[in-house]
Structure 1
Amino acid sequence: MNHLSGPRDRLHALAESDGPRTTGGFPSPLPYRGGGRHVESTHRRASRPARISGGEPESPPADQAWILQLRPRNAAALLEAVSEEAALREARLLIGDGAAGWAVEVAGLMAAAAPAQADGPYPAASRHTGRQPTAPAQVSVLSRVPDDLRARSAEALALYVLTCVAGYAADDIPEIVGVSVREFTRRSLPVGGTFDSLKSQLDCLVGELFRSCQDVLGPSKAADVTRTLSAALVAQVQHILLTLAEQAENERRGWFGSAAARHQELVLDILDGADVDAPQAFLRLGYDISRSHLALVVWRDDWGTRGTADLAAAATALLRSAGCSALLTVPVGVSSLWAWGSRTCGHPLSLRQLRHGDGPHRQVAPSPAVHIAAGLPGEGIEGFRTSHRQAGETAEIIRAAGSGAGGRKPPYDYAELELAVLLRSRPDLSTEFVRRELGPLAADDMSELRATVKCYLDLERSMSAVADRLHIAKSSVAYRIRKAERLLGRPVQEDRLRLHSALLLCDVLGRAAVDGPDAGS
């Protein structure tokens, strides 16, 4: 994966053509491709001095009207928006599709700005307690909020600042921007990392806004406007930073000293390899780490504020079905948690056993909104660590696969994905490998052909078995294999292991196997 060598690292990393502006009523609807993930209190506008009673926004003052002329370089920028639909719709009403599209496009640059570097080689919860981490000193990781949270926060921030600068007052900054404060705090990261990241985003936004001002007005007119713009931006940045500083302090007071924070601290010690006394750990956690364990990583895709109770319930149901009599859950950030289950005698059932079993231990399917990744059962403290590491690697490759995850549904089993995890230990090199091995077969419209060739290799090149598996005629199988061989320029059995490995990565990761880890940045 991304060389997340220790559990604390995994904890930190889990976080052209100008269309006309619509001025009357709501903008003509564009197909919405946002995340659809609800976050409360996004844009609550208590006073709008620039709006009139008819519900249609007035024109901004003359020195702000140029903002309505902003246009994205990519005319389809709004199609890539990830904000909550209601917030995006309101921004489009206030400043028009062109300026809203500009903000969405700039938000992509803001989200791609380098995340704050953690201070030290191995940032950890221990920085709040004075205890030294036990992980190797050479481990160095960028500490950042998870990419999807970062993208949504940047977009909400860009839309918020632009509508405010255009003259439409707002009382509260979008809730999603403040979620990163909670995410950093609950991952035991210094809150300063949040502000460093936010500053890099605001710097990017301000720079793009000044450049666009000159492009729209020309250097002579822009000189006067930028003085007013600078004052407005200073006020907005100050408001954002002061608001988030207050939220950070409130979150810090609520989190540190809580039972969840204490459990997280001790669990991180165990995962880091610290010499932990099992009876003492039992007294603090209420969980015996000397037993046999099955570990889960559980998360949801949205960044709402409802807590992790539904994630804990899903983990509990699965671990109980695996025969676990004792459970441990540890919240991680605002939308994920780690879980372990153990039993007194023997190993908990693996996911593979649950899928093929009947009776009281049959598999319990989680809610579609909840993702569960499971490791393999392991014995004692080392099994506690190993099963968790496997679950974490499984979760990471599923997140890398993105929406659909190759057609797989939770819970995701490390045993099924282990080979893909190992093959993708270096995402940059694995991407080059897939492109090189598949050549023309890596194209978007070759998915059916790739699936047939993979099935053919999975089933030891048996045409009849492939036909039965895919429910097609043997002649269709033969035709597809011949076509694939023409595209590859060689028989599929030549360098079979390499071809099979590349097809496996495509099957698990989808487009991410070909596009690479930096796609969309």
Structure 2
Amino acid sequence: MSDVPCQWLLALRARGGGHPPAASPATLLVARDSVGEGPTGWAVETAVWMTREVIRQVPGYGGGRTPFETLRRSVEASVLAALTGLLLDIRPSPEMVPMEAVEGNAELVRRGVPLDQVLRGVRIGHACLHQRLMDAIEAEPAPVRLAESHRVSELLFSYADAHASRMAEEYIAERDRWQASTEAARRRIVDDILGGRRVDPEAASRTLGYEVARHHLAFVVTADGLDTPAEVLRRFAAEVGRAAGGQGVLTVQAGPSDVWAWTARPSPALPALEIRVPEGLRLAVGPLAYGVAGFRRSHLGAREAQDFLGGQTRLCRHADIRVRSLLAAGGERARWFAEETLGALLGGDRRTADLRETLRVYLAAGRSPQRAANLLHVSRNTVSYRIKRAEELLGHALPDDLLELRLALEIARTLP
């Protein structure tokens, strides 16, 4: 160990908090025993920032919840391992790379992220960690600052080399295994269909073990936790297929906590899907569509519905959000439209949100206060009061042409 005490490292603390750990319980237990609760919290917070930086600079890592959380798990475990190594002055080796990083690396292989982008992400991550540690050391007295800056820089760059070496080795081995597997062949067919590329329906059906010349209902099963076994997701996908009256279910593991699935229907008629979504899982369902094009269309609809899962929403059908999904696709322009149309009625407080929802339901109910009251489970007088208050925030009475107002109210439902 360095002659200079590592009190600066033991004094590391999270600044804001609010982020639950992503690493495995075993990794967190070892870290807390080695460096303590404070530095462990600092590592969790720092890993969030590092993950965002890696994805910002290397978009190929992918956006969305699952890719972000998978990478954060890997980064967090790596930061914790680095802190332990720095505290104990351990010389780096490829074996020090945590299993979370190795598992995350395998996921990048299956998603087709190139090795050069993986290694660039490793370099960016280590540069970010070096920056944060130098910021902490900068506040120390001159003797500690000089000695520790040199020692930490030397060790961190050695860690980066060891990390990159292990990741490259594991990447190549996993890529060879993946490319030789049946799952990879099925995934290539699925990727071709979803990418809009031409495929032979008969050959695709043989490879997938699933008839593509049928009516398809696609859905996505997502787990709240990254540690949920894939078999749990697949079993629930099979249950959904049975509930939909489907003939067979095709599943593809899209990530550690996501399964894409399709079930084939013998006719275009879809019965009401009555399904209870278990605690810890979420379900997004696409529209029913036919053939190879329908296989893609239904899946993309399920992915759109997936964007509206969260909080208490455990089941989302594309039919329920297709207008909101279309409007949300406008991004910044959609927000501008809502701001210009709704004005003060776009306020972020709960009371204003209730006014917007009452107005939306009132207009959808043909301007009937009684029907709106029944739908909202409030009194007719409450509806009338809220409509009057909404008009005050709009700055004018409700227009005769309601198209823009109703569109703006739907856009508002998609905004954070």
TM class by smaller structure: 0.7 to 0.9
Alignment match of 1:209 (pick from 130, 133, 138): 133
Offset at residue 172 of structure 1 (A): 5.2
Relative distance call for 1:176 and 1:420 in structure 2 (3 A) is farther
Q: 1:163-190 CA deviation, whole Å, 9 max, x = no partner?
A: 3322387975444333321221112332
Q: In the alignment, is residue 78 of structure 1 matched against residue 2 of structure 2?
A: no
Q: In the alignment, is residue 144 of structure 1 matched against residue 50 of structure 2?
A: no
Deviates most, 282-291 or 241-250: 241-250
Query: 1:430 — aligned with what?
Result: 334
Offset at residue 419 of structure 1 (A): 0.7
Report 1:423-462 matches (<5 A): 423-436=327-340, 437-439=342-344, 441-446=346-351, 447-462=353-368
Q: In the alignment, is residue 156 of structure 1 matched against residue 77 of structure 2?
A: yes
- Say which SS state the counterpart of residue 152 (structure 2) adopts: helix
- Say which SS state the counterpart of residue 251 (structure 2) adopts: strand
Query: 2:388 — aligned with what?
Result: 482
Offset at residue 329 of structure 1 (A): 2.0
Q: 1:311-353 CA deviation, whole Å, 9 max, x = no partner?
A: 222222222222222332222233323222223x42261xxx4
When normalised by structure 1's length, the TM-score is 0.69
Residues 117, 143 of structure 1: 8 Å contact kept: no
Q: In the alignment, is residue 107 of structure 1 matched against residue 47 of structure 2?
A: yes
Offset at residue 384 of structure 1 (A): 1.8
Q: 1:456-478 CA deviation, whole Å, 9 max, x = no partner?
A: 22222222222222222222222
Partner amino acid, structure 1, of 2:347: A
CA distance in 2, matches of 1:318, 1:429: 37
- Say which SS state the counterpart of residue 256 (structure 1) adopts: helix
Q: 1:1-42 CA deviation, whole Å, 9 max, x = no partner?
A: xxxxxxxxxxxxxxxxxxxxxxxxxxxxxxxxxxxxxxxxxx
Query: 2:285 — aligned with what?
Result: 374
Segments of 5+ residues of structure 2 without an aligned counterpart are none
Query: 2:249 — aligned with what?
Result: 327
Alignment match of 2:192 (pick from 264, 269, 276): 269
Residues 335, 411 of structure 2: 8 Å contact kept: no
Deviates most, 489-498 or 371-380: 489-498
Offset at residue 416 of structure 1 (A): 1.1
Residues 138, 145 of structure 2: 8 Å contact kept: yes
Q: In the alignment, is residue 336 of structure 1 matched against residue 258 of structure 2?
A: yes
Alignment match of 1:398 (pick from 263, 287, 308): 308
CA distance in 2, matches of 1:476, 1:177: 55
- Say which SS state the counterpart of residue 83 (structure 1) adopts: coil
- Say which SS state the counterpart of residue 498 (structure 1) adopts: helix
Query: 1:194 — aligned with what?
Result: 118
Q: 1:442-462 CA deviation, whole Å, 9 max, x = no partner?
A: 313333333323222222222
Partner amino acid, structure 1, of 2:296: R
Residues 182, 333 of structure 1: 8 Å contact kept: no
Q: In the alignment, is residue 293 of structure 1 matched against residue 232 of structure 2?
A: no
Relative distance call for 1:409 and 1:102 in structure 2 (3 A) is closer
Q: In the alignment, is residue 504 of structure 1 matched against residue 414 of structure 2?
A: no
CA distance in 2, matches of 1:463, 1:227: 72
Q: In the alignment, is residue 232 of structure 1 matched against residue 155 of structure 2?
A: yes
Pairs aligned (count): 407
Residues 346, 412 of structure 2: 8 Å contact kept: no
- Say which SS state the counterpart of residue 88 (structure 2) adopts: coil
Offset at residue 263 of structure 1 (A): 0.5
Deviates most, 80-89 or 425-434: 80-89
Residues 10, 38 of structure 2: 8 Å contact kept: yes
- Say which SS state the counterpart of residue 398 (structure 1) adopts: coil
Relative distance call for 1:162 and 1:500 in structure 2 (3 A) is farther
Relative distance call for 1:485 and 1:84 in structure 2 (3 A) is farther
CA distance in 1, matches of 2:24, 2:57: 32
Offset at residue 418 of structure 1 (A): 0.7
Relative distance call for 1:498 and 1:89 in structure 2 (3 A) is farther
Offset at residue 143 of structure 1 (A): 4.4
Identify which of structures 1 and 2 has the higher relative contact order when contacts are C-alpha pairs closer than 8 Å and 6+ apart: 1
Residues 70, 98 of structure 1: 8 Å contact kept: yes
- Say which SS state the counterpart of residue 280 (structure 1) adopts: helix
Residues 117, 193 of structure 1: 8 Å contact kept: no
- Say which SS state the counterpart of residue 113 (structure 1) adopts: helix
Residues 294, 378 of structure 1: 8 Å contact kept: yes
Percent identity for Structure 1 against Structure 2: 29
- Say which SS state the counterpart of residue 354 (structure 1) adopts: coil
Relative distance call for 1:321 and 1:98 in structure 2 (3 A) is closer
Partner amino acid, structure 1, of 2:122: L
Segments of 5+ residues of structure 1 without an aligned counterpart are 1-49, 51-59, 119-140, 356-362, 515-521
CA distance in 1, matches of 2:41, 2:397: 48
Relative distance call for 1:71 and 1:428 in structure 2 (3 A) is same
Partner amino acid, structure 2, of 1:79: G
Relative distance call for 1:236 and 1:299 in structure 2 (3 A) is same
Q: 1:210-244 CA deviation, whole Å, 9 max, x = no partner?
A: 122113335x6412221111232234333433443
Relative distance call for 1:104 and 1:375 in structure 2 (3 A) is same
- Say which SS state the counterpart of residue 375 (structure 1) adopts: strand
Residues 215, 264 of structure 2: 8 Å contact kept: yes
CA distance in 2, matches of 1:202, 1:374: 40
Offset at residue 249 of structure 1 (A): 3.7
Alignment match of 1:354 (pick from 269, 272, 275): 272
Residues 237, 249 of structure 2: 8 Å contact kept: no
Query: 1:312 — aligned with what?
Result: 234
Q: In the alignment, is residue 418 of structure 1 matched against residue 322 of structure 2?
A: yes
Q: CA RMSD in A?
A: 3.1
Residues 126, 156 of structure 2: 8 Å contact kept: no
CA distance in 2, matches of 1:311, 1:250: 26
CA distance in 1, matches of 2:194, 2:157: 44
- Say which SS state the counterpart of residue 338 (structure 1) adopts: strand
CA distance in 1, matches of 2:32, 2:409: 43
- Say which SS state the counterpart of residue 276 (structure 1) adopts: coil
